[in-house]
Amino acid sequence: MKPGDTKIIPAEDVHLNRLSHVCIVVRDVERVARRFAQMGIGPFTVRMVETPEDRATLQGEPTSYTLKFAYAQTGPITLELVEPVKGDSHYRQFLQQKGEGIHHIGFHQAGLLDDELHRWKRAGMPPVQTNRREDTRYGWAYLDTEDSVGCILEVVCDPPLGWWETKALRKR
């Protein structure tokens, strides 16, 4: 493919469901959250997330990282801020190469993560980073879609509603 060409995606292979969030990579989550709050967006919920090497990949290789997130609901969409804290991640690479800015648009997808990844890979857009939940059939991935749509798309595959309750009952 030549620069400027776009990939043609067969409609039967990939389909985006519900737009859920827009993510901005920042150097300081609290500073940016305060600034958005001054503009009427918020309140933000801040949390640290540590992902071990056995549940994440970057360019197909295992990786581990710690990220600081801040989330605020604005209408039906969540504004997600992320600050890379430790380890190698696509967020850190993005920040180093491009600086702060919009990293991806996230879509909730039905089904299992591996099924979703298989469809996108078959369409020529493999994941650049994946993260699996405790139940590793589910998780999220950033897809190599910048050449096709101008930005990274994230697919989020969550367990069905009620999964957490079923899991809690099994532990009893």
Per-residue pLDDT of the chain (172 residues; tens, 9 = 90+): 455 555 555 545 778 988 999 999 999 999 999 999 999 999 999 999 999 999 999 999 999 999 999 999 999 999 999 999 999 999 999 999 999 999 999 999 988 999 999 999 988 899 999 999 988 999 999 999 998 889 999 999 998 765 444 444 444 4
Domain at 18-171: CATH code = 3.10.180.10
Enumerate the domain spans of the chain.
18-171
Tokens representing 129 are 């980073």
pLDDT, tens digit, for every residue of 9-18? 554 577 898 8
**In the block, residue with structure tokens 């969409």:** 77
Sheet holding 18-25, edge to edge: 45-51, 65-74, 77-87, 18-25, 101-109, 152-157, 139-143, 127-132, 56-58, 61-62
**Distance from chain centroid for Cα 58:** 12
pLDDT, tens digit, for every residue of 70-91? 999 999 999 999 999 999 999 9
